[in-house]
A = this chain, B = another copy of it.
């Protein structure tokens, strides 16, 4: 089976590493000639909306998927219209690319969200600030990730300035949630609508970038997160891995956003679950049975941001696993991650403290 992937970053790279043992081959479309994930498959260097490149993908691939949501939904739709199975469905991509549609979907299926209002101009922003209340977060409707395109508005005086800084693009204003913690659920839906869910991931962000994610087997919010995820998977007639990020506040989960793809907060599943999110995404889109999502011990992931540290002290620790993405190093860029695994949550915390110390990331 030949699988086409739109996007050739680290997620494509880890998909390929998971798919090769299943006997899959990969064709990767990415405009960057040095896309790190593309080097493991056949690489088509072209824009995501290049009609010749898309036609080649459609012609040669048995299944097509994508590794990030900033590919044009129109490209995914065109591929699907060529009768190539595109998973997850392009409709999920369209929703995930647009914060307003995303929040509307959450509301439609009865998943709690923070108060949110559409913003199209300064006037509607001022109105939204009154409805939502301050502090609030102004976010571009599309193309935001890792905290980009977001401005916190703490008081009415800066509303105008915030709108100017956003350069007038369509946006949403969301109530600022003083959450107790952030969790995500990595869900997967396969052939015949079968679903599976990984143990919740508890995530810590700094400056809008995920720095650590811990597996949380037996989390008290597990059942609720799975229930919400099921509603979304069914509503979207979904196929593949779907990540849903929540804020936990006063015992309730508020949905923040979805990613219709494998997700950074699920990287610990490579060592910390029986079947990784990458393998399960591929199994789902290839009509293969889903693999067990049971945890293997307790696991945590630490992102390597900007540079890869000296691997020796890291690899000297037991059950520490290094994942280098082969990307050019740049400040703020995710260039790899480390997984730590332990038999108990207490032991995991001790190891995690050591790893974050070595990596230079605040725990």
Does A17 reach chain B (CB closer than 8 Å)? yes
Assuming the contacts A40-B40, A288-B312, A296-B296, asked whether A274 and B319 have C-beta atoms less than 8 A apart, the reply is yes
What's the dominant secondary structure at chain A's contact region?
Answer: mixed
Q: Which residues of B have CB within 8 Å of A17?
A: 17, 20-21
> How extensive is the interface on chain A, given as a class?
20 to 34
Q: Which of A273-313 contact B (CB under 8 A)?
A: 274, 283, 288-289, 291-292, 294, 296, 308, 311-312
**Of the residues B20, B296, B316, contact of A40 by C-beta under 8 Å:** B20
Most buried by B among A283, A321, A336: A321
Does A324 reach chain B (CB closer than 8 Å)? yes
CA distance A289 to B310 in the complex (A): 12
CA distance A256 to B274 in the complex (A): 35
CA distance A324 to B319 in the complex (A): 26
Binary contact readout A315-351 vs B (1 if CB under 8 angstroms, 0 otherwise)? 1101101111010000000001000010000000000
CA distance A26 to B321 in the complex (A): 20
Q: Which residues of B have CB within 8 Å of A324?
A: 20-23
Q: Which of A1-36 contact B (CB under 8 A)?
A: 13, 17, 20-23
Q: Which residues of B have CB within 8 Å of A308?
A: 23
Instruction: Report whether A288 and B315 are in contact in the complex, using a CB–CB cutoff of 8 Å.
Output: yes
CA distance A274 to B320 in the complex (A): 9
Q: Which residues of B have CB within 8 Å of A40?
A: 20, 40
Q: Which residues of B have CB within 8 Å of A283?
A: 315
Assuming the contacts A288-B311, A296-B296, asked whether A22 and B322 have C-beta atoms less than 8 A apart, the reply is yes
CA distance A308 to B22 in the complex (A): 10
Q: Which residues of B have CB within 8 Å of A294?
A: 318
Q: Which residues of B have CB within 8 Å of A20?
A: 13, 17, 40, 324, 326
Q: 7 more A-B contacts (CB under 8 A) besides A21-B324, A23-B311?
A: A17-B17, A17-B21, A20-B40, A20-B324, A22-B311, A292-B319, A296-B296
Closest 5 CB pairs of A and B: A23-B324, A289-B316, A21-B323, A292-B318, A289-B315
Pairs across A and B, CB under 8 Å, 21 listed: A17-B17, A20-B324, A20-B326, A21-B322, A21-B323, A21-B324, A22-B311, A23-B308, A23-B311, A23-B324, A23-B326, A274-B318, A274-B319, A274-B341, A288-B311, A288-B312, A289-B315, A291-B315, A292-B318, A294-B318, A296-B296
